[in-house]
Amino acid sequence: MGCSTTDWRMDRAYGTCYCDEDCVNTKDCCFDYFTECPAQDCVVSAWSFWSGCAKPCQPSVRVRVRHVEQQPVNSGDPCPLLEERAGCREHRDHRGSHCGLNSGPAFITSMEFGKGRPKHDNFGNPLDPGFCVEFELESRTPHCTVQNQPHTRWMRYITEGFKVCVACEPPALRNSSCQGDGQESDKEASLHWQAVGNPHCRGTWRKVRKTPQCTCPTQHNFVFT
């Protein structure tokens, strides 16, 4: 109601006119209401493609961006985030050579990242579909629940006591194994894992079994990177 002035109104009377949304019903809008008053929300472009990983052969981040096509006007909705970051890991260096296999913790990320991986080689031949390893989570750091960005929310489902499934597939699959998959460890051994995209989100788990495919609930399916 404070958005008012003295000018010609839409009912052709001269006097106090308004710019609020209710003036359309009360017929006391200013004459230029439909061109000057309605709120216009921010409009942004579609997301760009994901960039490559910032660093090869180690856990790193990838980025995608979008730009503002129309700024908000008259208290329209503000612009959303224009940049998103997600964890990733490249298995070739800048020269295209395979990275060496390192012993260490299992690096994992969401199954959504795995969906974008190639399923065929450069000649169109299907790649090895890999396998799945089931683990029982023993511990995790509290940092896994701190971040609430779209591409880090999957970490919130890493919960002690739950069973999770982790897919081992190309390009993480090399020489019939993925780093940290526990194939050479005792069944009772506590193995270490770390979330790609948040180096402070890590913990331990115990290998349960190896299966042809992952059968855990969607939120508990991950991939080795």
What pTM was estimated for this model as a whole? 0.60
pLDDT tens per residue, range 199-209: 889 999 999 99
The pLDDT tens digits for 85-118 are 887 777 666 676 666 555 568 899 988 877 777 7
For 96-120, give the DSSP string.
SPBPPP--SPEEEEEHHHHHTS-SB
Which run of H or E residues covers position 192?
strand 190-195
